[in-house]
Chains A and B, each alone.
Chain A
Amino acid sequence: MERDKILQEILSDPEIMEKYNIKKSELKTLKSGPPYYNKIVEVLSVIINDNDNHMNSSQIYKKIKNVHNIS
């Protein structure tokens, strides 16, 4: 699935992997749908999915704030 591939490609950044404890072996299993591996995967999934749904940055940001319970 294209969304999963984009998600995995972005998170394959070595610094991100180290900082957010993503193991190399787990990288290929990451999905852009629930259940999410961790917060960064969830936030990125929201951005990728809702961009495909043609939502703008303000709408997407509201959803991200919900992820962090800060709305």
Chain B
Amino acid sequence: MASIINSISFKNFFNYYGDYEDTRYDFEEGVNIIVADNGAGKSKFFNAFLWLFYDQILDSDDKRKKAIKDIAYKIISDKAKNETSLGSSLVSGIRVEYSTGRFKYQITKSFTATRIKENLTDYDSWQIVIDDLEVDQSEIILHRYKPVYDYDEKRKIINRLILPDLRQYSFLQGEEVDRIIDFSKKSSIEDAVRTLTNISKYEELVELIRDIAKKSENDLNKKTKETNAQTDRLEKAQQEKETLTFMLKKEVESLSEFQKLYEDAEREKNELDQKYANAEKRKELDEKISAKNRVLKSAKEEYDSFLEGINNKFFDGNFSWISLGFENHVEDFKEKIKLFRQNRYEKRALLKASESPNDYFTMLPVNSPDAVSLENMIDSEHCYVCDRPAEKGSDAHNYLLKLKNRPNENKPTKEFVKNDLEEFFGNLQVNASPFCNKFDAIPQSVLRTKEREGELRERVDKLNNELKSLKSQRKDILIAGAESDENDNALSIINQFKGAIKRMEQASNKIERLEGNIKELKHNLSVTEKEIENLRPKDLPEGYTLNYKICSDLEEAIVNAKERVFDNMVNLLEEHANRHFQNLIRHNDLAGGILKFEKTPAGSISLKYIDSTGNEVHGGSEGFQRMKKFSVVMAIISVNTTQYNYPLLADAPLSAFGKAFTEGFFEAIGGVFPQSIVLVKELYDGDDEMKLSDLGKKLIKEDNIKTIYLNTVNKGVEQIDLVTTKTKLK
């Protein structure tokens, strides 16, 4: 019976805060999906199984798997840590329930952490004690767990969930699919065939029968000698056979060496191929980064210059922003300046009138009375103009004296106000006039400028993001590149690449020659064996002859059977891989090609993708490449002569797949794995009310999808308040 995971629950495990019953996920036979955005606990969920199977956790900081004890302080929910006072303890753990037909098991792994220092997140703030592994067993119909005490039995129960040999095909994270099936390594498909067939049994039998056949020949030869009827011709033929056998052995050894050379050269070529492709991609990205940097620099300059220009708009008569808010001041100014001028004129008139009343009140002609008349009036102390006395010392007499001295007086104009602002206000009016005409246009101008500033800033941000993305891609390529370093230039890579191809060609030619030699030697050996058979004395005991005949025939038959089993399995894998591939791409616009397994001269199996006319198709997206490999993984599972009895546990297997691939994936896995638990981001849509993409909503309605959970986190909170919340959508 298949192993079916019934539930998984957590206790203060990363963001899964709370006790086991608060965080329990129930699953069914069939396809189960957990949808979550980045940071909502997908990888942490997957980590629970790493803990279960290997007592390890993948440290997201450096992407390395670490022993539980070393990373325990990072596993505990920060919220739980924060709620634990100094000297107090908490428990962090995982619990998995699974069933296999008759029995049901519950496995709990946990540790107890005691807070010994104030700082929450330090390694030495927590004293960790790993709790005993708890495994409970129950008959399904009884519903009552009983503990399992034997440690070996506990390990067996964990291993039964997914057998260790099969975990590589059934328990995978993201790009691990690429590593499972690496066709540059001979062992890759051989390992799969070995896992799927009893080929190792045939290998043991080949070893045995070779030894047994040799023994039977020795016995026969010994018996022949005992008969004293051995002829020179027989002896010569036997020597010939020994020579041929020796030569054959040497040629087979040589063939093995050249196959190894071919395999090494092929692997180097494949590695360089990747490296060269990476170098090309890096070069391409460097050019893009450089161009993007130039555009960004220019955009930043434009933005800076735009910001500087904003100041000018305050004082530039074309924009006149400075006058914004002064709209009512014009009328106010007009009123005030009118009043100012009126007052000013009045003051001036009064001053003038008081200083020179005669200027305003006499009708005398200018410069009259004349100087002589004035002299007479002064001397006679009488004003003949108004015919009034003007005694010496009186105001009238003094005024006559003043008039007499009139031509000699050159007094400066007396200021009639303390500060004459006439000119200032005049200038103000002149200078302000261009600003006053712009009042209506200013709000629009400010708005346009603001919009433009937004556009420019948005452009700079967009370019910055694009640049960041390009740099990130470049970084990824560097990581993906085999032992890549900056000193590897394209030329040396090409030279190494060509060298590897040349070695492959040389090895291939040699292999071809050696295979020809081996064939010929085998033929000669067969002829010699027949000759020996004919030359043997006829009166030999039949048992010896028959023994040798059967053993040597079986030797050949077992070797052939071993190769046949291998080839049959490869053919079966090819057939299944193609069936799965067609299912996976059924929603794509892609014309369905054919996956072809081909034996290389080194004996390894290469995967080729050919079109309907038999031409090999190169390239394709990363998602497409991964889909090919995933087809092979599914084939490895489905060719099992017995039903595959283990669940698929996959974290982000679709990260490089397109939408159409994703849809095909969920349809196809249902037909291969009895149960699948898949953690995905691709079905998440933050803007949707249900937080599900259109495909997610479509999948909810599919019969083969049994459960869908949505994981969310309370965004915008501190780490110590971060909690994953689950919602069961189906």
Contact = CB atoms under 8 A, between A and B. Distances in A.
B493 to A, nearest CB: 47
Contacts of A69: 543
A19 B554 CA distance: 12
A26 interface: no
Given A9-B564, A11-B557, A68-B544, A43 B550 contact: yes
Interface residues of A, number: 27
A70 B541 contact: yes
Interface string A31-71: 00000000110011001100100000110110011001110
Contacts of B208: 47, 51, 57, 60
A48 B644 CA distance: 27
Contacts of A44: 554
A60 to B, nearest CB: 6
Q: How many of chain B's residues touch chain A, expressed as a range?
A: 20 to 34
Contacts of A40: 550, 553-554
**Chain B: interface secondary structure?**
helix
A71 B560 CA distance: 29
A65 B222 CA distance: 14
Given A51-B205, A70-B219, A9 B561 contact: yes
Contacts of A64: 212, 216, 547, 551
A9 B543 CA distance: 26
B550 A13 contact: no
Contacts of A6: 198, 201-202, 205, 561
A70 B564 CA distance: 33
Contacts of A65: 219, 543, 547
A9 B219 contact: no
Contacts of B543: 65, 68-70
B384 to A, nearest CB: 163
A7 B297 CA distance: 76
A70 B223 CA distance: 11
Contacts of B547: 64-65, 68, 70
B569 to A, nearest CB: 12
A70 B545 CA distance: 10
Given A16-B553, A70-B219, A47 B205 contact: yes
A36 to B, nearest CB: 12
A70 B546 CA distance: 10
Nearest to B561: A10
Contacts of A13: 556-557, 560-561
Nearest to B553: A16
Interface string B198-210: 1001101101110
Contact of B204 (A19, A43, A51, A58): A51
A15 B551 CA distance: 14
Select the residue from B202, B543, B550 with max chain A CB neighbours within 10 A. Answer: B550
B401 interface: no
A43 to B, nearest CB: 5
Given A13-B560, A68-B547, A2 B554 contact: no
Contacts of A11: 557
Interface string B595-638: 00000000000000000000000000000000000000000000
Contacts of B219: 65, 70
Given A10-B558, A16-B553, A60 B202 contact: no
A61 B554 contact: no
A39 B546 contact: yes
B565 interface: yes
A61 B215 contact: yes
Contacts of A70: 219, 541, 543-544, 547
A48 B564 contact: no
Contact of A57 (B212, B553, B556, B558): B212
A44 to B, nearest CB: 6
B522 to A, nearest CB: 14
Nearest to B546: A68
Contacts of B201: 2, 6, 51
Given A6-B202, A9-B564, A61-B212, 16 more contacts: A2-B201, A15-B553, A15-B556, A19-B553, A44-B554, A51-B201, A51-B208, A57-B211, A57-B215, A58-B215, A60-B208, A61-B211, A61-B215, A65-B219, A65-B543, A69-B543
Interface of A: 2, 6, 9-13, 15-16, 19-20, 39-40, 43-44, 47-48, 51, 57-58, 60-61, 64-65, 68-70
30 contacts: A2-B198, A6-B202, A6-B205, A10-B205, A10-B554, A10-B558, A12-B561, A13-B560, A13-B561, A15-B556, A15-B557, A20-B553, A39-B546, A43-B551, A48-B205, A51-B208, A57-B207, A57-B215, A58-B215, A60-B208, A61-B216, A64-B216, A64-B547, A64-B551, A65-B219, A65-B543, A68-B543, A68-B546, A68-B547, A69-B543
